[in-house]
A = this chain, B = another copy of it.
Amino acid sequence: MREAYHGELDEIRDGLVELANLVGSSMGLATTALLDADLGLAESVIATGEKLDDLQRDLENRAVAVLARQQPVARDLRVVVTSLRMSADLERCGVLAQHVAKLARMRYPARPVPRDLRRTVLEMGQLAQRLMAQAAEVVVTEDVDAALQLEKDDDRMDELHRVIFQHLMDDRWQHGVETAVDVTLVGRYYERFADHAVSMAQRVVYLVTGELTPDMPT
């Protein structure tokens, strides 16, 4: 009995990792679609949205089923509750990747990101995907140091976000208001995506140490 039950917890964890990887890939592909005005790629990212929803719902249902059938306590209970929260984080990340892909589609054939911000947005997209891969790893390894490192790596996202704002607020901005609005929203999507990855890592820290990290991302 105990073995079957821990098998279920393992399956939930595997589901989280699978979803995290898919969501990370979606954000990476959406970034390429945005930067290259690649309509086909944007459409294919948008098309995976439903699959992500199904996976996420399945994961939640499995977590609730474990609560109902196994009535876990102590650490096992915390594992399940944490999984529910991570699953919600991943749901939002999937939606954020969709937002990036939908912007690419909406502006097609134009490229919403001006040339002088291309490198910054590319780095944001890659960093978002990398932070999510790290978060997935932390879910498996429960390595507290790696989780804290992820928080530090997220500082770079904040820097990149500031770079975008500096461009926007510069008097020499020549790309008009529509592009300013697009870039503002895109910057926020990446930042929120990264926040969710950090939040997942922090939940693992809480699971392992029982301590809340003082600054949950906003």
Contacts and interface: CB of A to CB of B under 8 A. Distances in A.
Contacts of A99: 218
Given A68-B73, A73-B68, A81-B67, A177 B188 contact: no
Nearest to A178: B169
A168 interface: yes
Contacts of A165: 181
Contacts of A85: 84, 88
Decide if the interface of chain A is mainly helix, strand, loop or mixed: helix
Nearest to A69: B73
20 contacts: A64-B77, A64-B78, A67-B67, A68-B77, A84-B84, A84-B85, A88-B88, A95-B218, A99-B218, A165-B181, A168-B177, A168-B181, A169-B177, A169-B178, A169-B181, A173-B177, A177-B180, A180-B180, A184-B185, A188-B188
A181 B178 contact: no
Contacts of A212: 57
A211 to B, nearest CB: 13
